[in-house]
Structure 1
Amino acid sequence: MKQKKSTVLLLTALTLFVSSCAINTVNRKAGILTIQQQGSFLVGGTTISEPGKFDLTNALKPQGQTLHGDHAYVFYQIPPKARNYPLVFLHGAAESKKTWESTPDGREGFQTIFLRRGYGVYLLDQPRRGEAGKSTVATTITPTPDEQFWFTQFRLGNYPDYFAGSQFPRDSASLTQFFRQMTPNTGAFDVSIVSNACSSLFNRIGAGILITHSQGGGAGWFTAIKNDNVKAVIAYEPFSSFVFPTGELPKPIQSTSLFGELKGVEVPVEDFTKLTKIPIILYYGDNIANQPTSVWNKDHWRAGLEMARLWAATINKHGGNAKVVHLPELGIKGNTHFAFSDLNNLEIADLMAKFLRENGLD
């Protein structure tokens, strides 16, 4: 009995030793992560006041009370000797700041990748989403099974099949993590409210780089228009709210998208011109149609990519510096709507770092 117990203890010790070696190997490979400062705060938003006088004996009545809402939540990390410009990350539809954190299969996301590279990072939950869920408008959240739609819309594949060569990890645990990270709106999406909150963040932190994803792209353009502290915009697969100067709005782009035709947004020339003063780059992944098709997800993003190119050409025509990068044209294949968390996200991060370096923003 004693010998059996000794054997168990020895095996346990060996297991712990092997686990420790594995952890140390990972740490040596990634390097120790050093953070000088981190924290969180809320920014932007509005306050609603109910007329009347607050009655302490009837404290559940709204008279004389206030409601703060429609603000953004910000989590930040600053490394020692941080680079000049911090990176501000804004998520897209049905997502939260989790977009930029650990990937569905547990690898480091852009939050940590760029923190390791010396950048301060700020992650936003936009108003009426995630940890900024306190809204000034009512809504109803109805639990609706729709995850297979999102699998298809975000071009992991055409459910249940992944696209050939997809850079999304194909194990069931990663897909479960991906589905779980999706987050409902607690009020209607309002690009003006989101961009106001983002602008308030730049008022607080000063000059920085704005990185957006998908639906966040439109809020990104309006944030850059509102705030000169935005020194560049990096957008991953923006789709809606492309802004054009008065008189230069292109015709809507027709597609078989479940959301119908794609329209641009007209803004005053003086607002549009502000976008010509900063470098802008847009990245799009793989499995986007190059001509109209009945495969609706591929055609949806064909319209988005086509509008992006029209938009960038208009920026450049007015003396700006905008570029659209279609990753397959660089030989980078298989990326989904989430290139920054796909299996090759280090390669995608290198592209972004190159853009920052070439524009003197590193």
Structure 2
Amino acid sequence: MNARLSSSPGAGVRERFVFQDWLTKPDGEAGWASFFLARGYECYLIDQAFRGRSPWHPATGNYRVFSAETVQHVWTRPEDNLSSSSSWPGAKLHTQWTGSGTMGDAVFDGMYASMAPTLEDAVLQQTATQVSCAKLLDRIGKPAILVGHSQGALIEWLVADVRSHLVRAIVAIEPSGPPFAGMGAAGPRHNATAYGLTNAPLTYHPPIVDPMRDLVPKKVKANSGNLADVLLQADDNPPPRRLVNLTDIPMVVITGEASKHAMYDWGTVAFLKQAGVSRVEHVLLGERGVRGNGHMMMMEKNSDQIAEVVHGWIKQFGGTS
């Protein structure tokens, strides 16, 4: 059986990659689309609303962009930025970016040229993309496996919330997070995700009228010095609300060894479990022998190794062999 993959590239706080980076990596090598097509998958590559092939009008709202300096320091050459307050313990392990990872390098410049601005209004961005992706699943007409990276992973949860019967499984590659207080390339974004995982509304039970009142966050301490403390739902009064439309959908969160997400993706997994998602796994690539990856792992030298991990997980839900 040929599985259907619906893929949503990610975004940072301010800037994103368009679908092209799933077709061809910045160094000219074939991207993940080719990997999965070669294994018999039907692939649908999505540009989110107001981005790339889904163009925007200036009246839509304000846009933001990352500077080349920020991209270099956080994504392509974090190992040179260890003394910065924006660094993290695992940055020194980053080894997989092709080329120098610095401005002026051909691979870096090609990657940066592929980036596009993103809308400041995250609720509008997410809601519009949720509606469009739900219509795509309706058109496909059969359950799909959703694969999303970074901010694109938030769209997976929103789409599954309104089309759970058309979602076979979810692969969330370093989803934007952690819950309630996102940590983007430019630093913490407090009150970033009012609905815990997303800015746009998700369906909880008991129902939420005002997320700032009804979703009560509680700080949870990390059990390691290399991990960050996170916010989960308070677990006493009221008890945690459940993501009722997501509870039975299998999910996996995949985290790179050298990424900042290695500090806090555990919080996203814990939030999902607390909210009643019964089948969620956390794959730490370093523990699978896939070493040295940063946040932009699908563009890095060993991207096919990571795709093999994704493929291996998908196969249990009807993916091709």
Which structure has more RCO (C-alpha within 8 Å, separation ≥ 6)?
2
1:255-281 per-position Cα deviation (integer Å, ceiling 9, x unaligned): 9xxxxx976799xx9971221222111
Over 3 Å counting, the alpha-carbon distance change for 1:338 and 1:319 in structure 2 is closer
Q: Structure 1 CA distance, aligned partners of 2:162 and 2:241? A: 11
Q: Structure 1 CA distance, aligned partners of 2:61 and 2:19? A: 22
Q: Structure 1 CA distance, aligned partners of 2:268 and 2:168? A: 20
1:322 to 244, 261, 280: 280
**Structure 1 position 150 matched with structure 2 position 77:** no
1:103-140 per-position Cα deviation (integer Å, ceiling 9, x unaligned): 11111111111111111111111001111113484335
1:33-63 per-position Cα deviation (integer Å, ceiling 9, x unaligned): xxxxxxxxxxxxxxxxxxxxxxxxxxxxxxx
Q: Is the 8 A contact 2:9 2:17 kept in 1?
A: yes
Q: Is the 8 A contact 2:151 2:176 kept in 1?
A: yes
Residue 84 of structure 1: CA displacement?
3.1
2:21 to 96, 99, 106: 99
2:27 is paired with a residue of what secondary structure?
coil
1:157-181 per-position Cα deviation (integer Å, ceiling 9, x unaligned): 1457984551110242111111111
In the other structure, the counterpart of 2:2 is 84
Q: Is the 8 A contact 1:191 1:219 kept in 2?
A: yes
**Structure 1 position 200 matched with structure 2 position 171:** no
Q: Structure 2 CA distance, aligned partners of 1:281 and 1:180? A: 31
**Which ranges of structure 1 fall in alignment gaps of 5 or more residues?**
1-82, 256-260, 289-297
Over 3 Å counting, the alpha-carbon distance change for 1:140 and 1:192 in structure 2 is closer
**Which ranges of structure 2 fall in alignment gaps of 5 or more residues?**
83-90, 178-192, 207-213, 223-228, 235-239
Residue 156 of structure 1: CA displacement?
3.9
Over 3 Å counting, the alpha-carbon distance change for 1:193 and 1:102 in structure 2 is same
Q: Is the 8 A contact 2:49 2:55 kept in 1?
A: yes
In the other structure, the counterpart of 1:276 is 247
Over 3 Å counting, the alpha-carbon distance change for 1:155 and 1:276 in structure 2 is farther
In the other structure, the counterpart of 1:293 is none
In the other structure, the counterpart of 2:297 is 339
Over 3 Å counting, the alpha-carbon distance change for 1:135 and 1:205 in structure 2 is farther
Over 3 Å counting, the alpha-carbon distance change for 1:264 and 1:199 in structure 2 is farther
Q: Structure 2 CA distance, aligned partners of 1:323 and 1:235? A: 10
Q: Structure 1 CA distance, aligned partners of 2:107 and 2:274? A: 40
Q: Structure 2 CA distance, aligned partners of 1:128 and 1:252? A: 34
Residue 312 of structure 1: CA displacement?
3.8
**Structure 1 position 170 matched with structure 2 position 99:** yes
In the other structure, the counterpart of 1:235 is 172
Q: Structure 1 CA distance, aligned partners of 2:71 and 2:96? A: 16
**Structure ID, larger Rg:** 1
Q: Is the 8 A contact 2:217 2:232 kept in 1?
A: yes
Q: Is the 8 A contact 2:130 2:159 kept in 1?
A: yes
2:42 to 116, 120, 145: 120
Over 3 Å counting, the alpha-carbon distance change for 1:254 and 1:135 in structure 2 is farther
Q: Is the 8 A contact 1:91 1:214 kept in 2?
A: yes
**Structure 1 position 221 matched with structure 2 position 157:** yes
Of residues 275-284 and 244-253 in structure 1, the stretch that sits farther from structure 2 once superposed is 244-253
1:125 is paired with a residue of what secondary structure?
coil
* % identity of equivalent residues: 24
